[in-house]
A and B are shown apart, each in its own frame.
Chain A
């Protein structure tokens, strides 16, 4: 039963208010994409043991999608941020690095 702070309405939302949306920052490959690009887009996920960037929707709240940085091992939440960015904010990356020296930064 996670708690994530919705960056839009500012509420510490209980997991029952949220819907998970899998890995964040996936590049869409549509019509005309190569087989490899399309396979990567549709099926390939990082599924890391550790820091993970993922999509959540405040489904039973404000309805907005947002992103969260979370450790899949300890469930520690490093922060949440807008879904309308192509990569995690720099200050969040810095914060994760300070807590997890092994973390090599965000990679697409």
Chain B
């Protein structure tokens, strides 16, 4: 059984008991434990069910590479699925639940999948759920959805109770990894005067060295670690952060670090996670190495653990995985585990070593301790269901015939170590294969490069792989520190920071023999055993799956990964990668480097969505632009809809009134009396200078340079492709100054468009632009009584009468004592004054208008009434009638395209053959035969014929469709082939329910074609 030993555990405080809950049971651990350590201390060897087959699974690893021990952590608003027990620090009151089982971890109905595993081979999703097509929606998809994903999603009504934040920071050198290599690198860089950030993903510094009993300068490694930390803390240019993972490296030295500030102290008021958004001139990755599992049958039975992790749990937490621990290995390092287990007073019945001759210092020491070493042997199979009961031994060279069975309750396995090359690889660093040690390592000839074209990432320590291999021990502690120091020296030197090399520590070395690359145990493992040999625990991918996929033609490593799901989800190549590649290479009779690796992508390890979102939630998720009238609208029944970055009211609902009724009331009020519109969102751009007219002549399709001072003109803007991009009214304020109105969503884009042409094409033209959209409130007083309202408000310094201020002119003066500029422009077809006042006076003007209009029943109206009224008048709307493929000619806007101008943006494009094609769909009005039927948005018109591909032939589509309360019938606008020549024809708009809406083609202007209503 797994248990807490009487002594040991460098990270725990045995005087501080911590109570936590596991699947509803209350258990105890110690301060300094991880959840995984505490579970093992309580003999919870089986901690999860696997994803696909629901097999019992135990803890395999000590760190973030753990594939199985995922749990649902916390409750209510703090519940989070898929939290790794090995990286979760224990705290008082922690609650955790295991995953992937029903009804309980011990008894799981889904485990029947295990018996069906023959029917779930690689790619079974693609093979099983094929036909009939109709089964997808009702049978397959619900099954797949239920089975997909790991833990349960949080309750949809829960809200994250924590807060998160970003840190933005710049450093000369970022050192990732706080083991002895990273500490040495940071010290070297710090001494060189670099501004350094050193991050370590765990709570503790020093990495593996203290666990492995390394001695530095004749003392335990911990002494050197403590001294170095002190030295680093004394350097003002060095920042240290534990519980902070280097998550990803991106272009030009951008890096993300993920700090778990308060995961272990939930609710203490600090932000839970902090995302460091870093710009680093240089980066040193000292991210260590991850041990590989061995591929033998039953390697997923609870109680089988990585050998290095076994001694991590012992040394750090005083927790043993079992009383009788069989070791299976292909390398010398696993003997450290054998020795540690033995020294703890527990039994090591045998070390099964695939190598035929085992002669290193560490194996010899194990032999001297009386540990049996079975040379040239492999594991035929591990026996046991919910935990290990025994191990079968076979010849490594054979097919797996069991020659001996040894009772035990745990297996420690080691397939060698893989350098953590993720950060090196994220941004283009290449890898090379070291065949002797069987590992991919950073290829220093092809490093990642920064903006200056120079190397910007160096690897140090075990992450550098075999490094210079001057020493017998491949991942020796001396090499680790030496390579870390060298990496830091080179990194600093490359940014002009010269420094003396810090003294190299002295480390006792072992004579370590190279491992034997073992990708399959035994080497000729028979097919039956392959079915029980796991490569990827988390995704339930077996040796048989990878081989099958290779046979089916998934030979590219990237294809094989996706077909089998090997290395997907949170693993991302940490545990499964090399073994899977090796099996694939073997299946293809290729060498491992030819097969290559899958792409390493950030994040190295999952980071929380909270950290990514940072503080952007609730009101500050998206910044909203507010008009000066925004708060009034909000307080007076405004029913908001987003328009660009603005919010505009769709309508103003009165108590008990439906949205539809509100819209109709607003329209009727406008058409019969007077209403108010907050039009402040309209873009307002000043274009000024001697060449302003010439410039606007290029921007608009019509002539603007001949516009008289004091007059307004409607204009269209097109892109160089000829397509309509924006429209609006231009007013000439004086000889050199124009004010261009844009659509509400278009002001920034059009201002940018103007600047682009002025700065990059016509930079010698004397024109300035300024976006003054937010400097003015613009309020439309609209309806037959509009002038009376103005007069009642009190007009000074201008004449707003029909003669004094005719349609399409403006004046400057004061209204209600407020500096005001009324424009006689109309988007509703009614008598209309759009009055611009300084933004700060907007609300005062609005209030004055409401007061003056009270006797006329004045009411504000929203965007829907605006839309319906403009459609009644046949006015186009950018974004409704246009979609980026529409030219003005399609919309009967030829009157707004100058024939006199030599050139304007879009002119040449509008002469291209496709643009002049008479068959282009053109704007018409649409009148449903049944006046009560409103055509659905987006409906297409058909002519009853069928295209060669079997689809109904489409001859047009609806672009605007509304119920018109003014006309008491449905109206629409659309574009139809030959439409303008087919007035009076009836065409069909099929609907999704299979019926059709017969609709008459009519003139798009439904109301007051002569303009009598607005010209009063």
Among A3, A21, A77, A84, which residue has its beta carbon within 8 angstroms of that of B279? A3
Q: Which residues of A from 58 to 95 have beta carbons under 8 Å from B?
A: 59, 63-65, 71, 74-77, 83-84
How far, in Å, is B466 (CB) from chain A's closest CB?
Answer: 27
A65/B755 in contact, CB under 8 A: yes
Once bound together, how far apart are the Cα atoms of A81 and B785, in whole Å? 58
Do B908 and A57 have beta carbons less than 8 Å apart? no
B453 to chain A, nearest CB (A): 4
Q: How far is the CA of A38 from the CA of B908 in the complex (A)?
A: 8
CB contacts under 8 Å to A, within B884-915, are 902-905, 907-909, 911-912
Known: A1-B250, A1-B254, A33-B908. A77 touches B763 (CB 8 A): no
Closest chain A residue to B255, Cβ basis: A1
A75 near B250: Cβ-Cβ < 8 Å: no
Residues 5-39 of A, flagged 1 when their CB comes within 8 A of B and 0 if not, give 00000000011000101000000111111010010
Contact A76 B449, CB 8 Å, known A2-B251, A38-B908: yes
Instruction: Tell me the bound Cα distance from A32 to B904 in angstroms.
Output: 11
Nearest-CB distance from A105 to chain B (Å)? 19
Q: Are A28 and B761 in contact (CB under 8 A)?
A: yes
Q: Is the CB of B453 within 8 A of A83?
A: no
Q: Which of B453, B902, B908, B911 has the largest number of chain A CB atoms within 10 A?
A: B908
Q: Is B938 an interface residue (CB 8 A)?
A: no
Interface presence of A55 (CB below 8 A)? yes
The chain A residue with its CB closest to the CB of B449 is A74
- Taking the nearest CB of chain B, how far is it from the CB of A41, in angstroms? 8
Q: How far is the CB of B872 from the nearest CB of chain A, in Å?
A: 36
B761 to A59, Cβ gap below 8 A? Answer: no
B contact residues around A14 at 8 Å (CB): 254, 279
- Would you call B252 an interface residue if the criterion is a C-beta within 8 Å of the partner chain's C-beta atoms? yes
Distance in Å: Cβ of A47 to nearest Cβ of chain B: 19
Q: Are B451 and A1 in contact (CB under 8 A)?
A: no
Closest to B751 in A: A63
B721 at the interface (CB under 8 A from A): yes
Most buried by A among B252, B254, B755, B902: B252
A5 to B160, CA, bound (A): 39
B760 close to A3 (CB less than 8 A): no
Is B452 on the interface with A (CB-CB < 8 A)?
Answer: yes
State the CA gap A14–B453 with chains docked (Å): 17
B438-459 vs A, CB cutoff 8 Å, 1 = contact: the mask equals 0000000000010111000000
Chain B residues within 8 Å of A38, by CB:
908-909, 912
Instruction: State in angstroms the CA–CA spacing of A83 and B760 once bound together.
Output: 6
CA distance A4 to B755 in the complex (A): 20
The answer to whether B752 touches A76, judged by C-beta atoms less than 8 angstroms apart, is no
Query: B756 at interface (Cβ–Cβ under 8 A)?
Result: yes
Near A by CB (< 8 A), chain B positions 233-264 give 250-254
Closest to A39 in B: B912
Contact partners of B905 in chain A: CB under 8 A:
30
Is B759 an interface position by the 8 A CB rule?
A: yes
Given the known interface contacts A3-B252, A31-B902, the answer about A76 and B451 at a Cβ–Cβ threshold of 8 Å is: yes
Report chain A residues within 8 Å CB of B251.
1-2, 15, 75
> Which residues of chain A have C-beta atoms less than 8 A from B254's C-beta?
1, 14
**In the complex, which of the residues A15, A57, A74 contacts B453, with contact meaning CB atoms closer than 8 Å?**
A74
Return chain B residues, CB-CB under 8 Å to A74: 428, 449, 453
Q: Once the chains bind, are A76 and B907 in contact (CB under 8 Å)?
A: no
A63 to B907, CA, bound (A): 28
* A100 nearest in chain B by CB position: B453
- Which one of A19, A30, A55 contacts B903 once the chains associate, using CB atoms below 8 Å? A30
Give complex CA distance A83, B761 in Å. Answer: 9
Contact call B759/A75, Cβ cutoff below 8 A: no
Decide: A77 near B451, CB < 8 A? Known: A14-B279, A28-B761, A29-B908: yes
Q: How far is the CB of A31 from chain B (nearest CB, A)?
A: 4
Top 7 A-B residue pairs of the complex, sorted by shortest distance between their CB atoms: A76-B453, A1-B254, A31-B903, A65-B759, A30-B903, A84-B763, A31-B907
Q: Which A residues fall within an 8 A CB radius of B?
A: 1-3, 14-15, 19, 21, 28-33, 35, 38, 41-42, 55, 57, 59, 63-65, 71, 74-77, 83-84, 99
Q: List 14 A-B contacts (CB under 8 A).
A: A30-B903, A31-B903, A31-B911, A32-B902, A32-B908, A41-B720, A42-B909, A64-B759, A71-B453, A75-B252, A76-B449, A76-B451, A76-B453, A99-B453
A30-B903, A30-B908, A75-B451 are known contacts; what are 7 more A-B pairs with Cβ within 8 Å? A19-B752, A30-B907, A38-B909, A57-B752, A57-B756, A63-B755, A74-B453
